[in-house]
Amino acid sequence: MCEASAYIMEAEKEVLVMEAVDKVEPEEDGVRLVSIFGEQKFIKGSIHSLSLVDHKVYIKTSK
């Protein structure tokens, strides 16, 4: 499987938000994550970086 895991960046550590992420959809105030199982989460923030080899999406939250 090639799904990614999404993490929020807090200080210098990664906090897992969702596994098996299939879609990352930008919205006006943040990003919507959708898993292969249909679970959805909205995070107020923006994409910080992607690690395609490691299948990771890093999100920086808005303050």
63 confidence band (pLDDT: 50, 70, 90): low
CB-based burial, 30-50: b 16+ in 10 Å, e otherwise: bbebbbeeeeeeebebeeeee
* pLDDT of 12: 80
- Residue 56's domain comprises 4-61
> pLDDT tens digit string along 1-53?
678 999 999 888 999 999 999 999 999 999 999 999 999 999 999 999 999 99
At 36, list the tokens: 């292969």
CB 24 within 8 A of CB 30: no
Burial-class residue 59 by CB neighbours within 10 Å (0-12, 13-18, 19+): buried
* pLDDT of 28: 92
How many domains is the chain built from?
A: 1
